[in-house]
Amino acid sequence: MEEVRMNAFKNIGELRKELRETRGSWQVSSHFNDDDVLPEYGLGGSTEGLVLAKKAPRVDFKKLFKKPINNPFLMKRWLDLELTKPTKKLKKLLKHPSEAPADFTKPKEAPEPPPGGAATRVDWRLRWGWAWITTIRDQQGCNSCWAFASTALMEAMTRIEHSVWTTRSEGDVHKGVGKVCADLGNLDEVFSFISSNGQCDPDCFPWTAADITYTPCADRNGRTVKIGTTTWIGSINDQKTWIDTVGPIATWFMVASDFGGYGGGIYRRTASATDAGGHFMLVVGYDDNQGCWIVKNSWGDGWGENGYCRIAYGESDIDLYSKLGLRGTNPDPLTKRRLHNGNLIESGNGALHRNFEMLATTSNTKVRHWWREGTPPFPWSKAKKFGKDAAHCPTLTATTYNRNFEAVYMTTSNRLRHWWYGQHDHKWHNGGKFGPGDVAGIPGFIQGNYGSPANFEVVVRTCDGRLNHWWRQNGPPWRWHDGGRFGTNIALSGATLVQGREGPNGNLEVVCVLADGQMQHWWRDDAHGFIWKVRDTFGSCITTPLVMIEGQYGAEDETSMGNYELCVAVGGKVQHWWRFNSGDRRWRNSTTFGRNVKQVVGLVQGSFGFNLEVVVLRWDQKLQHYWRDGAGWHEGAIIGSA
């Protein structure tokens, strides 16, 4: 049912007058004139299922922290606070967390606390030089705050736990639990829905204020972020500790009739204000010096402090009920699709949902599936072999088909072959041959965003020194189509196909090696006839296939493009290149690392705090792992033969 509201202020001028006379700690937004009526925004927060703060049990953080987490910055914080045991391997792992590049670091408003010291201020909008909170949304007058607060929490914890931006759909949970715009809601019902069904992205089912039927996309199950556990946190000290050591928390708040006019400062309800209704928001931080919670609202970025507010401790019943925390997010393949290429991906498998999955050829042209456990001591294990005609390491991805793994490789008869791993039966299935009869290179292979389920896209070199694009319509009759050839004098292709963020749907991007040893960057201009065009030519003396991803460096929020990261073997070492996509768009060679390297075969930016992970093929035909953190590149384990 709709909430009934009464406003004690006839206009903005009356509110400004009371704030002046009482020397209020906040100010009305400068967007309003004095004769404007106070705006009313959508609320919708029911107290059903909420636990009174004084009745909630204390959180046993030492028990909570017996299990490791993905975020190395937070794990280091746990060690500082003596909330977990400082093992030798853990200390080594956390010695140099990846720092945000200076180009993207903004000044911090407060320093990090000293080791072991209590944090007097935490703000997840910017912490350790990295942004963690997604952009402000607008519930558009609906009573859907609970859907927006829960979505904000899902997005924040996915970013914190897996070092990746994700966008989840408020509409998916709003309509998924059977609500219309006028209905109130609560956190229990929304997280019960997410626990059973996950939460999908807006392209699968978008947010709308209209009361429409819930009809998500056909492959919804493979494009949902799943969750672990939620925790009600009652004590204010526990709430601050959770924010400091785990992440943001969702809160209920009694909105007063003056809150719509808030424009900045520390909010305290004016004496004349009346109750407007309950509201859920996301607490992204706190500040003991100012005595306030830092809160993300869902009324658009034109409200408050660019969509945020600072609310005094205890104000308007913000601390009456327990606040809700979340752990154990498990991102979908769509969220991670730009963060891997080549024979290596990070899946959602394992206790921390960050196992590595890898495919490599064997001595008899079969393919071996390897996997690495995502918890210490990070052992690599062999899974099953499949196929019998692989000429090179396959290009591996995960897709929205129930999170299945999919792979394409060049065959010994110069064709392309597709394989897929069913999560339902844990077996590899032969998807058949396709493509031209003159394949002569390693294919780039992705699932894009054309169609629903989205098409597969492949770009590979052919014997005539050109690149050939193929795509599969992911619906009956599941047929592969020739997208045409482009380029000349191309010596090598590699696992470099990425769907970027420029253009109406995201243009395809690919890098190849020319006959003169230079690398050449191509893109497909989807807005003007799907024509392939050259972006840039760079590097020299390249004689091996290359691997490229779009990473998280440079992506300031979930709408931003990250840098392209590229690795290629030159003279027995690995060259790392990156393209400053949000700046001058130039390619730069950052460093050279490694030894005895024949070819780079896989590249991932995963859940290990923005680290880059590389797998190379050595001259002795063994596979080896390298990784980069804030201190540079490190030699990892020698995995096995290929």
Claim to verify: residue 305 and residue 451 sit in the same structural domain? no
Domain end point (choices 327, 356, 376): 327
Q: Give the closest residue to 407 by CA, choosing from 392, 399, 397.
A: 397
Q: pTM for the complete prediction?
A: 0.95
From CA 324, how far away is CA 326, in angstroms rounded? 7
Residue recorded with tokens 């970013």: 159
Token reading at 113: 């606390």
From CA 461, how far away is CA 543, in angstroms rounded? 14
Residue recorded with tokens 């030798």: 88
Claim to verify: residue 585 and residue 453 sit in the same structural domain? yes
Q: What is the pLDDT of residue 6?
A: 60
Domain end point (choices 305, 327, 349): 327
3-state secondary structure of 2: coil
**Which domain range does residue 280 map to?**
29-60+121-327
The CATH number of the domain holding residue 480 is: 2.120.10.70
Are 429 and 422 in contact by the 8 Å Cβ rule? The answer is: yes
Sign of the CA dihedral with 555 first, then 561, 563, and 566 last: positive
H-only helix segments in 234-288: 236-245
Q: What is the pLDDT of residue 379?
A: 95
Kindly state whether residue 541 falls inside one of the protein's structural domains.
Answer: yes
pLDDT digit string, tens, across residues 83-126: 776 665 555 555 556 665 544 333 344 455 555 567 999 999 99
3-state secondary structure of 145: helix
Claim to verify: residue 481 and residue 572 sit in the same structural domain? yes
Q: What is the pLDDT of residue 103?
A: 42
Query: Average pLDDT per run of 10 along the chain, which is 642 residues long?
Result: 62 96 96 95 97 95 85 91 68 59 42 66 97 98 98 99 98 98 97 98 97 97 97 97 98 98 98 96 98 98 98 98 98 98 98 97 94 95 97 98 98 98 97 98 97 96 99 92 98 98 94 99 96 98 99 97 98 98 96 98 97 98 97 96 88
Q: How many domains does the chain have?
A: 2
Are 582 and 588 in contact by the 8 Å Cβ rule? The answer is: no
Claim to verify: residue 364 and residue 272 sit in the same structural domain? no
Claim to verify: residue 541 and residue 519 sit in the same structural domain? yes
Strand locations in 425-489 (E):
427-434, 444-447, 456-461, 467-472, 480-486
Domain end point (choices 277, 302, 327): 327
Burial letters 54-80, b for 16+ CB under 10 A, else e: eebeebebeebbeebbbbbbbbbbbbb
Claim to verify: residue 442 and residue 590 sit in the same structural domain? yes
Kindly state whether residue 114 falls inside one of the protein's structural domains.
Answer: no
DSSP H/E element including 255: strand 249-256
Claim to verify: residue 380 and residue 232 sit in the same structural domain? no
Kindly state whether residue 405 falls inside one of the protein's structural domains.
Answer: yes
Kindly state whether residue 144 falls inside one of the protein's structural domains.
Answer: yes
Residues facing 550 on adjacent strands: 564
Kindly state whether residue 91 falls inside one of the protein's structural domains.
Answer: no
From CA 444, how far away is CA 439, in angstroms rounded? 12
Q: Give the closest residue to 564 by CA, choosing from 538, 541, 540.
A: 538
Kindly state whether residue 4 falls inside one of the protein's structural domains.
Answer: no
Claim to verify: residue 294 and residue 173 sit in the same structural domain? yes
Residue type for 75, please? M
Claim to verify: residue 397 and residue 306 sit in the same structural domain? no
DSSP 335-376: HHTTSEEETEEE-S-TTTT--EEEEEE-TTS-EEEEEE-SST
Asked, as a colleague might, if the bond just before 115 is cis with ω within 30 of 0, I would say no
The CATH number of the domain holding residue 245 is: 3.90.70.10
Kindly state whether residue 258 falls inside one of the protein's structural domains.
Answer: yes
- CA of residue 226 relative to chain centroid, distance: 13
- The dihedral region occupied by 172, where left means phi > 0, alpha psi between -120 and 50, and beta the remainder, is alpha
Q: What is the pLDDT of residue 63?
A: 87
Claim to verify: residue 322 and residue 340 sit in the same structural domain? no
Claim to verify: residue 288 and residue 367 sit in the same structural domain? no
Kindly state whether residue 637 falls inside one of the protein's structural domains.
Answer: yes
Q: What is the pLDDT of residue 1?
A: 40
From CA 567, how far away is CA 575, in angstroms rounded? 6
Q: What is the pLDDT of residue 90?
A: 56
Q: Which DSSP state fits 48?
A: T
Claim to verify: residue 502 and residue 516 sit in the same structural domain? yes
**Edge-to-edge strands, sheet with 405-410:** 395-398, 405-410, 416-422, 427-434
Q: What is the pLDDT of residue 212?
A: 97
